[in-house]
Amino acid sequence: MSEIILTNQLLSRQSFKEQCGIELSQLRDIHGRTPEFAIGNTPYLLEPASPVNNRPSTEGLSALNQLAPMYISRDLTNLSLSYGSDNVLALAQIRKNLYDFGTASVGASAGFHGNRISGFIKAVQEYQNALMQFREAIETKSPHKLAAEQKVNHAYKELQNKFHYEMESVTAQIKSRRGTALSNLERGKNIVRSSRNITKLDVTSQAQASEVAQFAKYTKFLGNGLAVIDFTSRLGNIQNTHKAGGSWHKQLFIESTSFIASAAAGTMMINAGSYGLGLLIAATPIGWVGLIIGGTLVVGAAAGASLGANYTLQQNSGNWYDAIMNALGI
Amino acid sequence: MSIFSKLLAFDFLFILLSCILYVLFGQITVRKLRKNPKTKNVLGMEYASGWDIINVASALAMPRRLSRKLEKGPLAYLYANSDLLFENTSKFDRILGAVFYWLFMSSSFVCVLLVLLNYLGVFDG
């Protein structure tokens, strides 16, 4: 288990100790050295000093490495400070679940999952926005504090209503004693009330470190702390192949051919289906129930065709790429 | 490469060609219709943005009798109004639309058919 410390400002040895009660000498930076200052938006590893060997654990350093790039660590710091760090871990997990689900289902059905993902992101944004406004109202002692608190309650309820299952499955795994801001409204409000600028992230595994890094990467922090997450699974695949040293040209070819084919298959089925349905309803006394059943069949057939085309093209177009490259002599 | 893979690749070339025609038809014909106040609101339902291109193409490509029948039915709001479109397009637009529509529909139909046959094990032997 690695504990990661994040701060959003430059802190001297003295003020760092005052703020969180930890000696700066207990921290390690990305090179395994003890820092002189705590630099803002930089992750540090916190490990209990062991008398036997003075080197930080390799797992800890590896987790640190994944979170260290500036564009990741800055967003991660902001997110952790405004959501609470357990919350970031939970969100990273939910994002991964939705993302895996989305990657497994593409084409026409992607519209549905895309809606689900963007709905989730929107609900989280609203909850966060409400929390930020509440925080501002507390800091400025605004008379609208109560209204802002109401808004937090409302946004939290929305999030709970719409994404109950996703949140339950994830927050059950975290087992934080205090609960997370996602499972517990009071916890969310308390994080806001305590306006801190240092936060601690408990990363339990390598896999979790990479999930967190991915989450921060997909999260852009706008001026007022609005998190926007965009999903580009196909681009993600290409980028991963590129990073893993694979042939990303080939992956690009595979992803684009399968995308075109699955889109074409889905479009064709829906178009043919809407004609069939239109003729059916014009020729027979079929009612609205029949229309709904027919519509469901059309959408289902379109999703099936689209998935099938995507899968088959993924299987075959790699060969086409090789054949074309061979023929061109490249 | 297996026979199936070759057939699919051959069909994919036509899908690709129809995608190029889709862009061309969208830029040449549908853009004009979107700007025309007479036809702006009769391009049919857009399930996704750009779907009106397909609606217009199908209204121009389908036999007139069939389109008229559909447009009188209860689902008329799904389809583009072919009468208005015929009044406001040139012969070139209609030919482009018909070529695009039938190439697109047939090539993607063949694609789905091949995938289905492959799934059923026809190409295994």
pLDDT tens column, A247-284: 777 877 887 788 888 888 888 888 888 888 888 777 77
For B14, name the nearest residue in chain A, comparing CA atoms only: A261
> Do residues B35 and B103 make contact, with C-beta atoms less than 8 angstroms apart?
no
Lowest mean pLDDT among A46-55, A97-106, B36-45, B98-107: A97-106
DSSP B33-47: HHH-TTTTT-S---S
Most confident of A69-78, A79-88, A234-243: A69-78
Q: How far is B39 from chain A (nearest CA, A)?
A: 21
Give the ipTM of the model, two decimals please: 0.84
Residue A176 vs residue A293, higher pLDDT:
A293
Q: How far is A320 from chain B (nearest CA, A)?
A: 7
Q: What's the first-to-final CA gap in chain B, in angstroms?
A: 15
> Do residues A74 and A225 make contact, with C-beta atoms less than 8 angstroms apart?
no
Inter-chain contact B116–A308, Cβ cutoff 8 Å?
Answer: yes
Is B112 in the A-facing interface, judged by CB distances under 8 Å?
Answer: yes
The pLDDT mean for chain A works out to 69
Is B1 in the A-facing interface, judged by CB distances under 8 Å?
Answer: yes
> Do residues B2 and B108 make contact, with C-beta atoms less than 8 angstroms apart?
no
Strand A44-46 relative to strand A2-7, pairing? antiparallel
Position B7 pLDDT exceeds 80: yes
pTM of the model: 0.48
Position A308 pLDDT exceeds 60: yes
Q: Percentage of residues in chain A with pLDDT exceeding 90? A: 0
Distances (CA, A) of A18 to A3, A44, A85, A248: 19, 17, 20, 50
pLDDT tens column, A89-111: 766 766 666 666 544 444 434 44
- Confidence grade of residue B98 (pLDDT, cut at 50, 70, 90): very high
Residue A226 vs residue A43, higher pLDDT:
A43
The helix/strand/coil state of A164 is helix
- Confidence grade of residue A122 (pLDDT, cut at 50, 70, 90): low
Q: Percentage of residues in chain B with pLDDT exceeding 70? A: 95
Inter-chain contact B111–A274, Cβ cutoff 8 Å?
Answer: no
H/E stretch holding B11: helix B3-25
For A269, name the nearest residue in chain B, comparing CA atoms only: B109
Lowest mean pLDDT among A25-29, A213-217, A238-242, B43-47: A213-217
Which residues in B lie closer than 8 A to residue A268 (C-beta atoms)? 104-105, 108-109, 112
Residue A196 vs residue B98, higher pLDDT:
B98
pLDDT tens column, A311-320: 888 888 888 8
C-alpha atoms less than 13 angstroms from C-alpha of B55 in its C-beta half-sphere? 28
Q: Where are the beta strands (DSSP E) in chain A?
A: 2-7, 27-28, 44-46, 198-203, 219-221, 227-229
Interface of A with B in 272-301 (CB under 8 A): 272, 274-275, 277-279, 281-282, 291
Which residues in A lie closer than 8 A to residue B75 (C-beta atoms)? 274, 277-278, 281-282, 291
Residue B19 vs residue A199, higher pLDDT:
B19
Is A303 in the B-facing interface, judged by CB distances under 8 Å?
Answer: no
- Confidence grade of residue B96 (pLDDT, cut at 50, 70, 90): very high
Give pLDDT, residue A227: 28
Interface test with B, best of A277, A312, A324 (most B CBs within 10 A): A312
- Would you state the structure tokens that stand for residue A240, as one six-digit string? 């991963």
Most confident of A97-106, A321-330, B8-17, B46-55: B8-17
- Name which of A111, A305, A319 is nearest B112 (Cβ-Cβ): A305
> Do residues B52 and B44 make contact, with C-beta atoms less than 8 angstroms apart?
yes
